[in-house]
Amino acid sequence: MQTQAENAGAQEIARRLADGAAKRGWDASQIFFYRRTESFDDDPTAFFCAARRPTSPLGVLALLFTLFRKFRADRPDVVVTLQHYGNVVAAPLARLAGARLVIANQLSAAAVVPAKLRLADKIIGILGGYDHIVVNSIDTEAEYRAYPARYSRHITRIDHGFFDKSLDIGKHEARAELALPPDAPLLGCAARLHPLKKLDLAIRLLTQDPARHLAIAGQGAEREALEALAIELGVADRTHFLGELASDRMGVFFAALDCFVFPSAAETFGLAPVEAAQAGVPVVANGLEILREVLAVDGAPCARFVDADDIAAFSAEVDLVLKDDALRATMIERGRRLAQRFPLDAMIDGYMALMRETA
C-alpha cells in the first residue's frame, strides 16, 4: 500500500516485494491512493483508489472510503505500507478494517515529510498502530532509534535488495534505442523531478564542458522549471528529458551512460545510484552519509562523493571519472559487487519472516 502509482524507487521495492511474495505462495496485490502514470496499468494485481490525485476534501474522503472498502473486501492477513502517507493514512484504516498485521516502511527522507505527518507517525507507532516498522539502512535506523522506546521497539532493519537491471548491450545500440547522441560524453540521472533531487545541479554540469550531454530519466512537477533552466543556461540542446522509463528499460538507459550523476539532497537509501553502479556505470554522487553507506563494498567506496552544490568540484569529479581509465575500472569492479551486498532474495525473505507471524 502506497501513495501514487509511478515508476520510482519506493514503487520498485513494492513491485519486487509483491512478486517475491507471490512466488512464495502468497496472494499479493498492490494498492495505490491514486494513479500518477501508466507504469502499473498492465499489472492485474494493482488497484487505484482514485484515477488521479484528489484536489478537494470530498475527493479525499471518497478515496479514503474506497480504500476502507477495499481492505474490508480483501480482508488481508498482512498490509505493508510504504512512504509517509501510506503509513499514516493506510495503517489506521487497515486496522479498522481488520488487518491482522501491519508493517510500516520508513522510505521517505525526513526532509520531504511535513512536521505534522512526522508527529502523526510517531504517535501511531507509540500507540501500537504498526506491528513492525521497517528501516532500510544504518543511517535511517539511527534516526528512528532515537524515537521513544514504545516506537523504536517495533523497528526492524531490512536493507533494500534490488533487481539486476544490467544488460548485455553496446553503448551505441543503447543510445540509438533512446535517441541519444552516439559519441558525446553522456551523463545521466534517474530520479523523480522534484526539488530535493537537485537536478538543476546536474544540468549546470553542462556549462562546465561544451561537449557533455545529460540524459534525465524520470517525471514530475519540476520538468517545466528544469527545461526553462536548460534554455536559460544555453544547454537545452544537450539536455535530454526521457520521461519515465519502465523498469525493464532502465538497463538500456544505464548501458548508454558514461557517468551517472546523483546530486540529491536527501535519501533514505538511494536505489537509483546503487542500481547504476551495479550495472557498471561509474557514479558521482552528493556526499550524503546515507549514499556513502550504501555505495560501498567491504568498506571501500564504489562511487565518487562531492558537495554537489559546488559545481566546479562536482564537474571536476565527473571529469576525473570520464578520463581516468584505472579509476573507472576500479569503480566498475566494486559497483558490480553491490548485488552481493544487497541481494533481492534477502530483502524478500526478511519481509516474509515478519509476515509469517500471521500463520
Q: Binning pLDDT at 50, 70 and 90, where does residue 61 land?
A: very high
Cα angle 228, 232, 235 (rounded to 5 degrees) comes to 95
- Whether residues 133 and 176 fall in one domain: no
- Whether residues 91 and 209 fall in one domain: no
pLDDT tens-digit readout, 80-97: 999 899 999 999 999 999
Average pLDDT (119-144) is 93
Q: Which of 42-46, 112-116, 209-213 holds the top average pLDDT?
A: 209-213
Q: Which residues pair with 162 in a beta bridge?
A: 343
- Residue-number span of the structural domain to which 332 is assigned: 171-341
pLDDT tens-digit readout, 254-290: 999 999 999 999 998 999 999 999 999 999 999 999 9
- Whether residues 181 and 41 fall in one domain: no
Quick one: pLDDT at residue 358? 65
Query: For residue 42, is it within any domain?
Result: yes
Least confident of 48-62, 106-120, 162-176, 268-282: 106-120
CATH number at residue 283: 3.40.50.2000
- Whether residues 153 and 179 fall in one domain: no
Which three cell numbers mark 193?
523531478
Quick one: pLDDT at residue 108? 79
Q: Binning pLDDT at 50, 70 and 90, where does residue 107 land?
A: confident
Quick one: pLDDT at residue 87? 95
* Whole-angstrom distance, CA of residue 326 vs CA of residue 243: 33
Query: For residue 268, is it within any domain?
Result: yes
Query: For residue 316, is it within any domain?
Result: yes
- Whether residues 182 and 329 fall in one domain: yes
- Whether residues 296 and 233 fall in one domain: yes
- Whether residues 14 and 114 fall in one domain: yes
Query: For residue 277, is it within any domain?
Result: yes
Query: For residue 324, is it within any domain?
Result: yes
- Say yes or no to pLDDT of 359 above 60: no
- Whether residues 194 and 326 fall in one domain: yes
Average pLDDT value over all residues in the chain = 94
Pairing of strands 304-306, 2-5: unpaired
Question: Which residues have CB under 8 Å from 111's CB, separation 6+?
Answer: 196, 265, 266
- Say yes or no to pLDDT of 324 above 70: yes
Query: For residue 166, is it within any domain?
Result: no
Domains in the chain, number: 2
In this structure, are residues 340 and 279 in contact, taking their beta carbons and an 8 Å threshold? no
Average pLDDT (54-65) is 96
* Whole-angstrom distance, CA of residue 339 vs CA of residue 347: 12
- In the chain, the percentage of residues whose pLDDT exceeds 70 is 99
Query: For residue 113, is it within any domain?
Result: yes
- Whether residues 186 and 321 fall in one domain: yes
Query: For residue 299, is it within any domain?
Result: yes
140-163 burial, b at 16+ Cβ within 10 Å, e below that, comes to: bbeebeebeeebeebbeebbbbbb
Quick one: pLDDT at residue 241? 98
- Whether residues 179 and 272 fall in one domain: yes
* Whole-angstrom distance, CA of residue 219 vs CA of residue 227: 12
Query: Model-level pTM?
Result: 0.90
Which three cell numbers mark 138?
544504518
- Whether residues 240 and 266 fall in one domain: yes
- Whether residues 195 and 157 fall in one domain: no
